[in-house]
Structure formats: C-alpha cells, structure tokens
Amino acid sequence: MKDQIRRKLEQLADRRDEVGRLLADPAVLARPDAYRDLSVEFSRLDPVVAAFGEWRELERQLEAAMAMAADPDRGVRELADQEVRALRERIEAGSMSLQDSIVPADVLDASDVFLEIRAAAGGDEAAIFAGDLFRMYSRYADARGWRVEVLSENRGEHGGYREVISRIAGRNVYARLKFESGTHRVQRVPATEAQGRIHTSTCTVAILPEVEAADSVEVNPADLRIDTYRASGAGGQHVNKTDSAVRITHVPTGLVVECQDERSQHKNRARAMSLLRARLLAAERERQQRETAATRRLQVGSGDRSERIRTYNFPQARVTDHRIDLTLHKLDDIINGALDALIEPLLREYRSEQLADLS
C-alpha cells in the first residue's frame, strides 16, 4: 500500500475516534441535527477503519512469520514460508479493498442513462455502424438485465441510424457506461464497396445520466418552446391519428429534444423533459471538468464527443481504446455485447486516477 493511502486511512481512523467522542458529548446530544449528521458519518467511517485495523494486524502477523522464516529448523522455515505467502495474498486483497473504500463514489453511478448515437463522417457506412453500436449496447444491456427503450430514431437509407436516442434503465447503468461518450471509429470494407477498399467512418456516442428534477440544473418554463407532432414509424393507426410526439426547445442554449416512443403525449413530454435536464446537466459537468481536470484522459461523464476514444478495425479483428492504449483482438465478441473486456480496464484506470487525486 502506498504511503499516501496509508496516511489517508490513518486520518480517517483519527476522524472516526473524534466523531465517537463528539457523539458522547452532552452538547452534541442536545442538538438532534448535529447528532444525526455525526451518526451518519460515524457509520460510514467505522467499517473502513475496522477493516484498516484488521489489515494492520495482518501486517504484524506477516512480520512475525518472516522472522520465523529465518529459523534454523527446516520444518519451521517451510511452515513460515507457507504462512508468508498466504498473508501476502490476504494483505494484497485487503489493500485493494481499502483503496476502493476510500475512493469517493460518483453520486450519479446508480442513475439510468440516455444513450445517444449519431452517424458522423462516412455517409451510409457511418449510419450502418451506428446501428452496430446500438445493437452492441443493447446486447450488453440485455446480458446485465437492463431495459432499453428507444425514444426517437432516424434510420439510414441503407440500414442503421442517422441518429438513435434511447433510455437504458437498470442497476448502476451509468457506473458501467459513463466512459462510452466520445467518437467511435470503424475501419472495414463496406458491403457496397466493389473494389474491396477499407473505409473509415465515425459515430458519436453520448451517455447522459438521468436525474430527478430536484437534483438537476434549474429549467425555467419560460425558456421552453414545446411543439407536438404526429409520430412517424411503427405504431399502428393510432400513431398516424394523434399528435402524441413532443419536441422541446431550450431557447437559451438552442438544445432540442424530442420523444415519440409513447402513445401518450403526457408521457412523451415527461421523457423529453428528463432528456433535456440530462443534457443540461452534462453540459454543466463538462464545463466544471474543463476547469478542474483538463488533463484527465477518460473525460468521465462529460458527454464530450469530439475526442476519438475507440477504433473498431474489422480486417484485423481488433478494438483499440486510445485513452488507455488498450488493444484487444476480440472484435466479434465485443461488437456482440461483450463490453466488460473494455469497461473493466477503464474502471481500473479511473480508480487509479481518483487514488492519485487523494494522494
């Protein structure tokens, strides 16, 4: 364990002891609000400090075992060597667990998300690739038991989407997908290419956490222009007869959102408002991150789609994430939804960045 992390844990232990003393102070007992806040803090700190105490006890046991390993008796040395190996494994596991426990949680990690995919450079091939990406995320969502709802779509002439916006709901969706925002590039031979030449196309992806109105940026109703229109696409005769689709324009920023998934105009309006809040929140978080963490490689949760984050090279069956210099030769698995091979290394890198900040 790094010295900086150990010092941080020692500070938490001192704070836990201080909070424990305050909870026994009659002056604090007489102030219910202060007592409640301190009780919450103590309940958060106590298990971390207890685990740190157990980890330090393992260190002491390791020191004793290493001393035994120098015993002149061969049998004692062999037993000591086994004990040293076992203790080192437990200490390493405990160290990782303790580091995770002091990394501040992202308050939005448990949120559902809006997934926006748009074809960029590459014409019809970019639209087809957008369809591939949407299918990839949908299959990943299915594997994790999440629910996917398409809110609006604009299909390409030869398949895929010029734009598709969906909502993904489930357990810790944002925590798993927040690193997917950015420009995704594909290199392959399009089906329409007669000469067999490799083309490069791009799509932009944005992952926007869905937040409650009380937790999001304030939206003045006077700043909104709300239009209704008849939904297009599948839906039967009902869709063609009612103005159920909703388009909301946020006049100060020029942001436009729409939803035509539901037959109820009221539900579409609520979903569109939620999407608008998510976009406004993402813009505010991006502004804050530019000011405080301009050098971050992952650009977590910013929705920044200007940076090329990943390349899918079909001729070589490889996927490269450029932010962490990770290349995997398992494109077929990944494009079919096996995204954990990319997501887990990104999560580890993010945790390392946070630990570095704590240090």
How confident is residue 243, by pLDDT bands cut at 50, 70 and 90? low
| Tens digit of each residue's pLDDT (9 = 90 or more) over 86-101 | 999 999 999 888 887 8
- Global pTM exceeds 0.85: no
Clarify whether residues 310 and 162 are in a common domain: yes
Clarify whether residues 118 and 157 are in a common domain: yes
Residue 75: give the domain boundaries: 3-102
The count of other CB atoms within 10 Å of the CB of residue 102 is 16
Mean pLDDT of the chain: 84
CA distances from 196 to 168, 192, 193, 265 (A): 37, 9, 6, 48
Clarify whether residues 59 and 157 are in a common domain: no
The domain total for the chain is: 2
Mean pLDDT: which of 110-124, 233-247, 267-281, 323-337 is highest? 323-337
Angle 210-213-216 from CA coordinates, rounded to 5°:
70
How confident is residue 237, by pLDDT bands cut at 50, 70 and 90? very low
CATH number at 161 reads 3.30.70.1660
42 within some domain: yes
How confident is residue 105, by pLDDT bands cut at 50, 70 and 90? confident
| Tens digit of each residue's pLDDT (9 = 90 or more) over 30-49 | 999 999 999 999 998 999 99
Clarify whether residues 123 and 272 are in a common domain: yes
How confident is residue 61, by pLDDT bands cut at 50, 70 and 90? very high
How confident is residue 359, by pLDDT bands cut at 50, 70 and 90? low
107 within some domain: no
300 within some domain: yes
* pLDDT of amino acid 188: 93
Residue with tokens 């993402």: 282
Clarify whether residues 304 and 257 are in a common domain: yes
* pLDDT of amino acid 293: 52
CATH number at 18 reads 1.20.58
How confident is residue 242, by pLDDT bands cut at 50, 70 and 90? low
Residue ending a domain, among 68, 102, 136, is 102
Residue ending a domain, among 102, 131, 146, is 102
| Tens digit of each residue's pLDDT (9 = 90 or more) over 176-214 | 999 999 999 999 988 767 677 899 999 999 998 887 654
| Tens digit of each residue's pLDDT (9 = 90 or more) over 268-292 | 888 888 888 888 877 777 776 665 4
Clarify whether residues 26 and 121 are in a common domain: no
| Tens digit of each residue's pLDDT (9 = 90 or more) over 313-346 | 999 999 999 999 999 999 999 999 999 999 999 9
Clarify whether residues 11 and 137 are in a common domain: no
Q: Is the pLDDT of residue 303 over 50?
A: no
